[in-house]
């Protein structure tokens, strides 16, 4: 049984319920441990509180040095990180190597972002100077999803620590091993006790942490459903910062482009990478109801049918690994069934490949006949096709979602792209490029049910610190003239 919690620089057993993680492609046990009890959540927050003043008092340069030592650990252990993520999520090893690289890449980007977006400024004013500085919030909770169990919590933790906050991390209960390894690397890098604490557990642990009076903020990446619960919970607490990165029901519009093969490739990278388990994945594909559209769909159908699915470490490597769990696989089969009952037709059927695993084949489904398409994020490899007759209708349908994370268009005509850009409602808008694979050097976030206007990645610096404006003079001095009606003898 693993000592699953890291509180005040010590590893300890959880006193809550036992839980475990498995490799979803093989069913092999990966990790076993116990959840944190409410008392341990309390201790973790207290440890973060106790460590806060000393950590925040360090200079930015000193905190950068500490974070750079963690980057060295990330680089030295990249294969171990990638293997751990692959074993616990079922994502292909070639892909988890890119996740490990993104974690290391986050450090320099976050230092640059903190300097540019939350650095210090001074300007002269009569007899004084106007100054702008930033301060950390205090103790912040970080909640992570299972689909990028290293990269996305890391994307909150690194900027939070650089800003001078201390952190309590609650990772996804489906990926405790990745979180444990990440925290072990922070420990190895020499991070002072209490600056980063880890509480493992299921929803109950999340609830205990999120509702705790001792946190000053919460940085969340996960589903829109959970994000909405947190948002309601934070209502009436304007003093606490809440950053929500949530899901999407992302549209991709295809125009009659010259390079059909490239369009097929970018569509596959948009919808099926990570077995469709990326928040940015294309969910709805708008295809012209023309002969060109028929040809495009034939090629797409053929390419989707040939996507290799398999174990994370299989050779030759598959494009798609397993979904996170058998329950997720069953959920995708059920989603396909719901769409069919509403009138959809499968072009490529999504099927469960092996009982007891999360392995599914990719699905492509024509939902044009459905008058009221459910506005759901089906978090897996099931792309919904909608045939369109005119571009304005396609844009209106693309916008017919409560979400607003990513959107894209493939078109050879720049004016068409500009029209799309002006009308579409999303935080990520791409032209002739896959919807997935956003850059950490840009802001990352969505509107509507996808976020609460606290974009992450390059803009994470913004929610990790608050601005303090001041007017400063070395000494008090009487002004040359006093205001009317004043007399100071
Ligand atoms: N916008 C983004 O940056 C982004 C990135 C990755 C994933 N996502 C989204 O995340 C989802 C997949 O991740 P997931 O299934 O792990 O998300 P999830 O919402 O189920 O879980 C996220 C975290 O919240 C915790 N949690 C669950 N219910 C809670 C509650 N009531 N109170 C407090 N904590 C609670 C979980 O234990 C976990 O740690 C997808 O919807 C995907 O689109 C968004
Ligand atoms: O699943 C959601 C994340 C998808 C991923 N986005 C990023 O990596 C954003 C960049 C960052 O947070 O540094 C993608 O677009 O593929």
Residue 481 within a domain: no
- Which amino acids are annotated as binding site for NAD(+), given as ranges? 222-227
Residue 233 within a domain: yes
The Cα 362–Cα 348 span in angstroms is 7
- What are the structure tokens assigned to 427, written together? 């935080």
- Whether this prediction's pTM lies above 0.95 is answered by yes
Q: Residue 414 catalytic?
A: no
153 and 279, same domain (yes or no): no
143 and 281, same domain (yes or no): no
462 and 360, same domain (yes or no): no
Q: Ligand 2 centroid vs 437 CA: distance in angstroms?
A: 6
Residue that finishes a domain, picked among 380, 399, 431? 431
In angstroms, the Cα distances linking 194 to 46, 85, 187, 372, 419 are 9, 25, 10, 51, 51
Minimum CA distance residue for ligand 2 atom 6: 438
The Cα 276–Cα 270 span in angstroms is 8
465 and 382, same domain (yes or no): no
269 and 389, same domain (yes or no): yes
The Cα 110–Cα 156 span in angstroms is 10
Q: Measure the CA dihedral 231/233/234/235, to 10°.
A: 90
The active-site residue out of 245, 256, 326, 377 is 245
Residue 196 within a domain: yes
Using most ligand atoms within 8 A of CB, pick from 41, 205, 211, 223 the residue to mutate for ligand 1.
223
Please list every protein residue whose CB sits less than 6 Å from any atom of ligand 2. 147-148, 155, 278-280, 436-438, 440, 444, 456-457
Measured from the alpha carbon of residue 221, the closest ligand is 1
184 and 265, same domain (yes or no): no
Residue 477 within a domain: no
Residue 114 sits in a domain whose CATH number is 3.40.605.10
- Total domains, the chain: 2
383 and 458, same domain (yes or no): no
With contact defined as beta carbons under 8 Å apart, do 399 and 373 qualify? no
With contact defined as beta carbons under 8 Å apart, do 29 and 22 qualify? yes
Residue 31 within a domain: yes
CA angle 256, 259, 265 (to 5 degrees): 105
241 and 332, same domain (yes or no): no
Contacts 24+ apart (CB under 8 A), 331-336: 331/380, 332/360, 332/363, 332/378, 332/380, 332/381, 332/382, 333/360, 335/376, 335/378, 335/380, 335/382, 336/363, 336/365, 336/382
Using most ligand atoms within 8 A of CB, pick from 91, 145, 283 the residue to mutate for ligand 1.
145
In angstroms, the Cα distances linking 210 to 153, 182, 335 are 16, 21, 30
With contact defined as beta carbons under 8 Å apart, do 182 and 211 qualify? no
Residue 437 within a domain: no
**For the CA of 225, the nearest atom of ligand 1:** 19
**For the CA of 273, the nearest atom of ligand 2:** 16
186 and 324, same domain (yes or no): no
The H helix count followed by the E strand count for the chain is 14, 21
The Cα 154–Cα 102 span in angstroms is 9
217 and 284, same domain (yes or no): no
The active-site residue out of 88, 266, 279, 281 is 279
Q: Residue 245 catalytic?
A: yes
Using most ligand atoms within 8 A of CB, pick from 148, 223, 454 the residue to mutate for ligand 2.
148
The Cα 326–Cα 346 span in angstroms is 22
Residue 222 within a domain: yes
Q: Ligand 2 centroid vs 463 CA: distance in angstroms?
A: 17
Residue 484 within a domain: no
Domain that holds residue 200: 5-246+451-472
Q: Ligand 1 centroid vs 423 CA: distance in angstroms?
A: 29
pLDDT tens by residue, the chain, 489 residues: 577 899 999 999 999 999 999 999 999 999 999 999 999 999 999 999 999 999 999 999 999 999 999 999 999 999 999 999 999 999 999 999 999 999 999 999 999 999 999 999 999 999 999 999 999 999 999 999 999 999 999 999 999 999 999 999 999 999 999 999 999 999 999 999 999 999 999 999 999 999 999 999 999 999 999 999 999 999 999 999 999 999 999 999 999 999 999 999 999 999 999 999 999 999 999 999 999 999 999 999 999 999 999 999 999 999 999 999 999 999 999 999 999 999 999 999 999 999 999 999 999 999 999 999 999 999 999 999 999 999 999 999 999 999 999 999 999 999 999 999 999 999 999 999 999 999 999 999 999 999 999 999 999 999 999 999 999 999 999 999 999 999 998
230 and 334, same domain (yes or no): no
Residue 283 sits in a domain whose CATH number is 3.40.309.10
187 and 98, same domain (yes or no): yes
With contact defined as beta carbons under 8 Å apart, do 82 and 190 qualify? no
């Amino acid at each position: 049984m693993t000592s699953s919690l890291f509180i005040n620089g010590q590893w300890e057993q959880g006193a809550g319920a036992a839980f475990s993680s498995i490799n979803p492609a093989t069913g092999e046990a990966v990790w076993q441990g116990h959840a944190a009890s409410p008392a341990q959540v309390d201790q973790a927050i207290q440890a973060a509180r106790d460590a806060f003043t000393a950590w925040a008092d360090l200079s930015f340069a000193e905190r950068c040095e500490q974070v750079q030592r963690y980057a060295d650990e990330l680089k030295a252990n990249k294969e171990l990180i990638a293997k751990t993520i692959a074993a616990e999520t079922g994502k292909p090893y070639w892909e988890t190597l890119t996740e490990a690289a993104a974690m290391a890449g986050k450090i320099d980007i976050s230092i640059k972002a903190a300097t540019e977006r939350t650095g210090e400024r001074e300007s002269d004013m009569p007899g004084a100077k106007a100054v702008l500085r930033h301060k950390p919030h205090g103790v912040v909770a970080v909640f992570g999803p299972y689909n990028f169990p290293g990269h996305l919590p890391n994307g909150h933790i690194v900027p939070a620590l650089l800003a001078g906050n201390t952190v309590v991390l609650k990772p996804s209960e489906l990926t405790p091993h990745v979180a444990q390894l990440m925290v072990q690397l922070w420990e190895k890098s020499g991070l002072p006790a209490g600056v980063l604490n880890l509480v493992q557990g299921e929803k109950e642990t999340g609830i205990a942490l999120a509702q705790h009076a001792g946190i000053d903020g919460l940085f969340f990446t996960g589903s829109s459903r959970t994000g909405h619960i947190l948002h309601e919970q934070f209502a009436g607490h304007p003093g606490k910062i809440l950053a929500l990165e949530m899901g999407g029901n992302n549209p991709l519009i295809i125009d009659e482009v010259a390079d059909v093969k490239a369009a097929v490739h970018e569509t596959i990278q948009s919808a099926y990478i990570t077995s469709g388990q990326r928040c940015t994945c294309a969910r709805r594909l708008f295809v012209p109801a023309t002969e060109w559209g028929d040809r495009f769909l034939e090629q797409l159908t053929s390419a989707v049918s040939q996507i290799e699915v398999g174990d994370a470490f299989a050779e030759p490597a598959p494009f798609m690994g397993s979904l996170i769990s058998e329950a997720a696989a069953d959920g995708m089969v059920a989603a396909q069934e719901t769409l069919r009952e509403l009138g959809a037709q499968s072009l490529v059927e999504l099927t469960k490949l092996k009982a007891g695993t999360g392995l599914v084949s990719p699905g492509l489904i024509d939902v044009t006949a459905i008058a009221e398409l459910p506005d759901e994020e089906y978090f897996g490899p099931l792309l919904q096709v909608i045939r369109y007759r005119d571009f304005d209708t396609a844009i209106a349908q693309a916008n017919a979602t409560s979400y607003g994370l990513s959107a894209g268009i493939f078109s050879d005509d720049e004016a068409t792209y500009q029209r799309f850009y002006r009308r579409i409602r999303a935080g990520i808008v791409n032209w002739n490029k896959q919807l997935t694979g956003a850059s950490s050097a840009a802001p990352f976030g969505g509107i509507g049910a996808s976020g609460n206007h606290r974009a992450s990645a390059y803009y994470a610096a913004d929610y990790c610190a608050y601005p303090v404006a001041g007017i400063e003079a070395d000494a008090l001095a009487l002004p040359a003239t006093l205001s009317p009606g004043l007399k100071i003898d």
